[in-house]
Amino acid sequence: MSKLYFKYGAMGSSKTAQALMCKFNYEQKGFKVYLFKPIIDTRFTENGKAMVWSRIGLKSECIEFEKNDNFLELCEKYHIKEEKSVIIIDESQFLTKEQVNQLKNISLKIPVLCYGLLTNYKTELFEGSKRLVELAESLMEIKSICKCGRKATINVRFVDGKVATEGEDIIIGGDEKYESMCYECYAKLTNINNSIKNQKNVKC
C-alpha cells in the first residue's frame, strides 16, 4: 500500500542499513527503487558517484537532492513511474517542510520511506523530521542503546572532547563528532564543569 513512512532513531541505530535492506527487498520483488540522500552529506562517494553507505558495510549508489529541489520535479526528471516504483530517503531529517509536503503527495501513488534522525544535538526536532511526524501514516522508532545499556535517544555532539550545547545546527559527521546516549548520561555530562577533561570517559 502506498504510504509515507518515517523510520527514525538515534545515530548508530542502523537506520541506513535498514534503508538499504528495504531497498534490496523491494528490488527482489521486481520494484524499481529510487534511493535519495541530501547533497550536504558528502561523506561517501565511490568512483565519483554519490553513495549511501552504512556502518556495517552495506552500500548503494544514490541520487542526491538539494534543499531547493522539488520532489515532484525530480520524479519527472528521473522518470519515476507510478507502477512498481518506490522512493527511499536516507538522512531525511535534512528535508525541508515543503519537500515533505511534496513527498506526502507522491505517497498517494507510490510508497515513500524516509529514514533519519528525529532530533539534533540540542534535543530539538529537525525541520524535516517534525513535518514527517505530522504527515506520515507510519512512524517507527529504530532503537539503539547507550553505553550504559539504556535506550539511546540523544545525539550528542562533542567538540574538543566536550559536550556541545550551542553552535551550528548542522555539522555532518559520524562517530568522530557524535555519540548517541540516553538522557540520563547526557544530563550528567552537561552538568559537569567544562574544565573537566575527557568528558566522554565519565561513567554512567
Instruction: Name the residues annotated as catalytic.
Output: 91
Tell me, rounded to whole angstroms, the distance of Cα 186 from its chain centroid.
Answer: 21
CA distance 40 to 57: 21
Strand arrangement of the beta sheet that strand 138-141 belongs to: 63-65, 32-38, 85-89, 112-116, 4-8, 138-141
Which three three-digit cell numbers place residue 102? 511534496
Which three three-digit cell numbers place residue 40? 550536504
Q: What are phi and psi of 20, to 5 degrees?
A: -70, -35
Number of CB atoms found within 10 A of residue 22's CB? 19
Tally of helices (H runs) and strands (E runs) in the chain: 5, 12
Return the SS3 of 160: coil
Beta strand 59-61 pairing with 49-53: antiparallel
Which three three-digit cell numbers place residue 140? 517507527
